[in-house]
Structure 1
Amino acid sequence: MRQYLSRFLPFASLAGQRTTRAVAPLYRSLSAARFYSDAFKSPLLTAANPHQLTPADIWSVEKYDGMRKELLKVRRSIKLDRRVEVGPYASITFENYDLLWFQTQEMCWIERGGDEQLRDELNAYNPLVPNGNRLVTTLMFEVDNKLQRHRFLCSLATVEHSLQLEFDGSKVQGEPIYDDIDRTSPQGKTSAVHFIEFKFSGEEKAAFDRAVSAGSEVCLAITHDNYAHKAVLKGTLLQQLVKDLSA
């Protein structure tokens, strides 16, 4: 499992280096739905299980290769719709079935490892698929300067326990998904990438739905002593999260 986590999101910087965001305004103006067509619809629409990827859901490398250029545009658009920046160095992406389908397809296309690789990819990414009672996120810290990045990550020990969603007087605490992997080193340096889930009770799901419907403020907060920031979630993202929790 560890080797697959180190390869997650191959186009993002897993070392914590801040990726360029000059392309963001272009893609933020495009709805992901614009890219879906008769030739390619949301993978979720044909999923045997909306909460789990199966081998039957994954295309052959040859089929994916034929549409890869267009599909990467879809993936980028969906990802930007579901990403929020929290403070100067953190970005958080709310994962969903389609994004993890793209991730699995892309890794199989890159490595061409056949059925054995596909099985390992599904074992790695299925724990990140939302199941109707939780939201799942990828937290990334991005700092350009290597020395500053090292110092910054060394100041954020156990940050993976410092995320929460705040809405209408409620707080849903985030917790790391892969609790069998130590994301903070014995020296106190945290990883640049974390996988965080927010588990909702029935009452919290109802309160979240009411807050979004009423236009109340919904915030995603990082409450670490050395990195205390929050972002207000808005628009399309909120509607998608309500849908994730009703699936």
Structure 2
Amino acid sequence: MRKITRDEILNIYEYEKIRPQKVQEVIQLKKNRRVFIEPWVHLVFENRETVWFQIQEMIRAERMVKEEEIQQEIDVYNDLIPDKNELSVTMFIEIPEASERKRLLPQLVGIHDHLYFHIGNKHTIRAVADERSREDYEYGKAAVVHFLKVKFTEDQVEDFKREPVRVEVNHPNYRAITLIPEEVKQELIKDLISD
């Protein structure tokens, strides 16, 4: 999938004019790019559109106008755009109550190393977290956001198209599995075959 370039990014003023429309578009887009692994894990599958939106939102929130700051945001977020035969996942740990969150996050250290995709009964592929997730181990508690990639072979992509796909968290303190809904799977197939 093609990376975002500087000329695709709008200045704050221009973005503000189209933001309401873009917010609605991304809300609709993400409806078929989310999977919940109950009770607390929520996955969002990233693509060019979700990443473009995140870059624009960060520039808006931070009021960025310096070229080097804008380029740095583009570079950071471009890492989230999947390559061919790859999915890019943002994993959120959503524990609503603050006291529960404080109690449970230390028990979930390393959860990012326990996300698996099962394609039919043929393949099991582990997602790989980026380096930022390693901070879990240093700080003694799980971060609430993790960025992961899932790399597939050509054969696995072909089977992904045909077989049911389940996503699992298999952490000692969090075990749950769910079937990826068909409408989400169809979106993910587009990611996998996109150059």
TM category (shorter chain) comes to over 0.9
Aligned twin of 2:127: 174
Pick aligned residue for 1:153 from 105, 118, 139: 105
Q: Which residue of 2 aligns with 1:135?
A: 87
Q: Residue 178 of structure 2 is aligned with which of 226, 231, 235?
A: 231
Letter of the structure 2 residue corresponding to residue 101 of structure 1: W
Instruction: Say whether 1:186 aligns with 2:116.
Output: no
Would you say the 8 A contact 1:156–1:188 is kept in 2?
no
Question: 1: CA distance between counterparts of 2:97 and 2:28?
Answer: 28
Number of the residue aligned with 2:21:
70
For each residue in 1:54-89, what CA deviation from the matched residue of structure 2 results, as whole angstroms up to 9, or x when unmatched? 101112222211111121111112122211110111
- The code of the aligned residue for 1:231 comes to T
Whole-Å separation in 2 of the counterparts to 1:81 and 1:180: 27
- Over the matched positions of the two proteins, sequence identity in percent amounts to 28
In the alignment, which residue of structure 2 is the partner of 1:61?
12
> What TM-score do the two structures reach when normalised by structure 1?
0.74
Which 5+ residue runs of structure 1 have no aligned equivalent? 1-49, 212-216
Counterpart code for 2:52: W
Q: Which has the higher strand share?
A: 2
Which protein, 1 or 2, shows the higher relative CO under an 8 Å CA cutoff with sep ≥ 6?
2
Structure 2 unaligned residues grouped into runs of 5+ = none
The reply to whether residue 242 of structure 1 matches residue 195 of structure 2 is no
Q: Does residue 205 of the first structure (1) align with residue 152 of the second (2)? A: no
Q: Are 1:97 and 2:48 counterparts?
A: yes
- Of 126-135 and 54-63, more deviation after overlay is shown by 54-63
**Whose helix proportion is higher, 1 or 2?**
2
Q: How many residues align?
A: 192
